[in-house]
């Protein structure tokens, strides 16, 4: 049977393992086993990572409805390839490939009012698409609104990471089934269309980040009937917005725009909002006390890099679900509120670069906390029992304050600690030997304090060989580490930084930055995560 090309077993009583009994059919082209009451699952075929051109035989599948060739390295002129014969597609994903288009593709000769757009021509013959993903395909031209005109049952449209330009022009008729629209990372300009809610009345996911959008946020987003659950308009040029109008959404990202003015406390009084990102704007004034009616839904709050002032809200404890707070790079003053001690689920806290004073509450030692940034404030007094039980703590940055007294022995309890920055305080006494218990410690900066006495044995005897072996990915990293080894003896001084993204969900993150004392400027672009850094100047 090695030459068998066609095998029909329809309406037969076949055993489940009949294919194993038949043996290899190297020449088989057609296998039909219709109405045989077969059960079980078919083996999954992993077809990712392919390259070359799409096979011409695809053009023969005129009834094909689902085609996903994403995340491959397919190339060739897609406008003349086999896809031009497919007219029944409902799901099409071409994202993350190497397809080519003619230098200029013009649809203006068609019978509709289509506009110039460097998008594959065969798409103009599609009228039943439900999902279309053209992400990261190097397509350009104006936004292809004709896709919406032709496919009125479209549910998902993904055009992110291309080079589309011009305003976002939407059709006059509704696309009632659209639930997800992503045009992030293009060059779309102009205002968000005023008719976006009427065109997409059931929209749930809206991503327009990293474009050149200007003006205001559509007022209709505040309507319960039209509010998308996920709105990302970050990294644009928006200048007018009232964040409280978006309190009916689940996640709101307005980071890095030109938004200003004061924020109404109504934004915190929502039974829907969980993730709020307003960082990198020009908001000002006092953040009024959190007095939620519904109370406890907010999970992540980032209002960093604005112009807020006044004391920190004293009722943060009402938001018991908070996992991430970033209020850094503002003008907050006054003490740290004791309500921080009530946030048992907190994992990330950044209050750095403000004017906060007084002491760190001794009750603040949540077991779930992973990253604490309190640098560049006016905090004073000893650490007492703060952070004592925080065994999950990875980053502790309390540099550039007025903290004093000895470094507590309980520092050895922080078994997960990787970054410890105590620079530029008034700590005195010996470096505790409990530092040697921190097996994951990679960066230690205790420079510019009043420490004395001998170095802990583990700092004097540590070997750089293992860290060098792990970091030999590039010559630059090795070069950096060699200078750090000299720095240990010479006690030099220089500033550098590390950037780490702490992702809670896809597209929901807060960037972590720490600054530390080292020797050479070679660290200006960061350092490998395996490097052990010791600053003792």
Per-residue pLDDT of 81-102, as tens digits, reads 788 888 889 999 999 988 887 6
Q: How remote is the C-alpha of 527 from its chain's centroid? A: 21
At 498, the pLDDT band (50, 70, 90 cuts) reads very low
- How far, CA to CA in Å, does 88 sit from each of 34, 128, 400, 449? 23, 7, 64, 72
At 537, the pLDDT band (50, 70, 90 cuts) reads low
Q: Are residues 55 and 40 in the same domain?
A: no
- What is the C-alpha separation between 434 and 260, in angstroms, rounded? 47
At 515, the pLDDT band (50, 70, 90 cuts) reads low
Is there a domain that residue 135 lies in? yes
At 325, the pLDDT band (50, 70, 90 cuts) reads very high
Of 128-142, 197-211, 389-403, 442-456, give the lowest mean pLDDT range: 442-456
* Average pLDDT value for residue range 242-270: 88
Q: Are residues 78 and 175 in the same domain?
A: yes
Q: Are residues 36 and 54 in the same domain?
A: no
- Give the predicted TM-score (pTM) of the model: 0.80
Look up the domain containing 39 and give its range. 1-44
Quote helix, strand, coil % in the chain, to nearest 5.
Answer: 15, 25, 55
Look up residue 339 and give its two tokens. Answer: 């309500």
Q: Which residue has the higher pLDDT, 531 or 19?
A: 19
Handedness of CA 110, 113, 117, 119 (dihedral sign): negative
Is there a domain that residue 72 lies in? yes
189 pLDDT more than 60: yes
Of 15-24, 145-154, 338-347, give the lowest mean pLDDT range: 15-24
At 7, the pLDDT band (50, 70, 90 cuts) reads confident
- What is the C-alpha separation between 22 and 505, in angstroms, rounded? 48
- Res 46: pLDDT: 59
From the list 448, 369, 469, 343, the residue with the least C-alpha distance to 403 is 448
- Res 29: pLDDT: 66
Residue 300 β-bridge partners: 275, 324
- What is the C-alpha separation between 210 and 253, in angstroms, rounded? 12
Of 33-42, 134-143, 390-399, 428-437, give the lowest mean pLDDT range: 33-42
Tell me which of 240, 256, 273 is where a domain ends.
Answer: 240
Q: How does the average pLDDT of the chain come out, rounded?
A: 80
Is there a domain that residue 314 lies in? no
- What is the C-alpha separation between 478 and 468, in angstroms, rounded? 6
Q: Are residues 503 and 452 in the same domain?
A: yes
| CA torsion, ordered 202, 207, 208, 214, to nearest 10 deg | 60
Q: Are residues 78 and 197 in the same domain?
A: yes
Per-residue model confidence as pLDDT tens digits over 388-443: 888 999 999 999 999 999 999 999 999 999 999 999 999 999 999 999 999 888 88
- How far, CA to CA in Å, does 233 sit from each of 30, 255, 296? 50, 8, 25
- What is the C-alpha separation between 268 and 55, in angstroms, rounded? 55
- Give Cβ neighbours of residue 525 (< 8 Å, ≥ 6 apart): none
At 243, the pLDDT band (50, 70, 90 cuts) reads confident
Whether the CB-CB separation of 7 and 28 falls below 8 Å is answered with: yes
From the list 427, 406, 443, 436, the residue with the least C-alpha distance to 523 is 443
At 204, the pLDDT band (50, 70, 90 cuts) reads very high
- Give Cβ neighbours of residue 475 (< 8 Å, ≥ 6 apart): none
- Res 381: pLDDT: 93
Is there a domain that residue 297 lies in? no
- How far, CA to CA in Å, does 503 sit from each of 145, 235, 301? 33, 18, 14
471 pLDDT more than 60: no
- Res 314: pLDDT: 83
Q: What angle do CA 163, 169, 172 make, to 5 degrees?
A: 150
- What is the C-alpha separation between 341 and 504, in angstroms, rounded? 22
Question: How many CA atoms within 13 Å lie on the side-chain side of 292?
Answer: 22
Q: Are residues 10 and 116 in the same domain?
A: no
User: Structural domain tally of the chain?
Assistant: 3
Is there a domain that residue 1 lies in? yes
- Give Cβ neighbours of residue 197 (< 8 Å, ≥ 6 apart): 203, 218, 220, 221, 223, 226
Q: Are residues 37 and 60 in the same domain?
A: no
Q: Are residues 39 and 55 in the same domain?
A: no
DSSP structural state of residue 340: G
479 pLDDT more than 60: no
Q: Are residues 425 and 509 in the same domain?
A: yes
Tell me which of 240, 259, 290 is where a domain ends.
Answer: 240
């Amino acid at each position: 049977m090695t030459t068998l090309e066609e095998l029909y077993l329809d309406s037969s009583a076949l055993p489940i393992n009949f294919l194993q009994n038949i043996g290899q059919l190297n020449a088989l082209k057609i296998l039909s086993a219709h109405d045989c009451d077969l059960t079980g699952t078919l083996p999954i075929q992993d077809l990712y990572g392919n390259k070359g051109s799409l096979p011409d035989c695809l053009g023969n599948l005129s009834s094909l409805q689902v085609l996903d060739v994403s995340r491959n390295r397919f190339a060739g002129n897609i406008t003349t390839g086999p896809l031009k014969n497919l007219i029944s597609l409902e799901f099409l994903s071409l994202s993350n490939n190497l397809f080519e288009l003619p230098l200029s593709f013009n649809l203006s000769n068609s019978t509709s009012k289509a506009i110039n757009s460097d998008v594959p021509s065969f798409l103009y013959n599609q009228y039943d698409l439900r999902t279309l993903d053209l992400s990261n395909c190097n397509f350009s031209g104006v936004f292809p609104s004709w896709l919406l005109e032709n496919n009125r049952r479209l549910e998902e449209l993904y055009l992110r990471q291309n080079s589309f330009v011009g305003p976002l022009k939407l059709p006059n008729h509704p696309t009632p089934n659209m639930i997800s629209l992503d045009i992030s990372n293009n060059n779309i300009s102009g205002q968000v269309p005023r008719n976006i809610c009427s065109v997409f009345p059931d929209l749930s996911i809206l991503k327009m980040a990293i474009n050149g959008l200007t003006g205001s946020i559509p007022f209709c987003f505040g309507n319960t009937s039209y509010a998308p659950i996920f709105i990302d308009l970050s990294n644009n040029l928006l200048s007018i917005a009232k964040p409280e109008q978006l309190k009916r959404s689940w996640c709101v990202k307005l980071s890095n725009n030109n938004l200003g003015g004061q924020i109404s406390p109504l934004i915190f009084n929502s039974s829907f909002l969980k993730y709020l990102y307003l960082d990198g704007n020009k908001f000002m004034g006092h953040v009024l006390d959190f007095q939620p009616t519904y109370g406890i839904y907010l999970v992540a709050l980032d209002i960093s890099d604005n112009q807020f002032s006044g004391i920190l809200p004293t009722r943060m404890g009402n938001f018991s679900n908070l996992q991430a707070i970033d209020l850094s790079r503002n003008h907050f003053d006054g003490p740290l509120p004791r309500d921080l001690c009530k946030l048992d689920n907190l994992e990330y806290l950044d209050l750095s670069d403000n004017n906060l004073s007084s002491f760190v509450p001794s009750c603040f030692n949540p077991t779930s906390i992973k990253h604490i940034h309190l640098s560049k404030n006016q905090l004073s007094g000893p650490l007492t029992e703060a952070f004592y039980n925080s065994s999950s703590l990875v980053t502790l940055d309390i540099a550039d304050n007025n903290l004093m007294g000895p470094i507590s022995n309980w520092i050895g309890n922080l078994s997960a600690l990787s970054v410890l920055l105590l620079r530029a305080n008034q700590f005195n006494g010996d470096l505790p030997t409990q530092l040697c218990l921190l097996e994951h410690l990679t960066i230690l900066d205790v420079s510019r304090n009043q420490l004395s006495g001998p170095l802990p044995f583990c700092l004097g005897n540590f070997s750089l060989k293992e860290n060098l072996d792990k970091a030999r990915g590039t010559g630059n990293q090795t070069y950096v580490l060699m200078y750090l080894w000299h720095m240990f003896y010479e006690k030099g001084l220089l500033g550098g930084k590390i950037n780490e993204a702490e992702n809670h969900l896809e597209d929901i993150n807060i960037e972590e930055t720490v600054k530390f004392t080292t020797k050479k400027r070679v660290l200006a672009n960061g350092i490998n995560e395996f490097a052990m850094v010791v600053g003792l100047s």
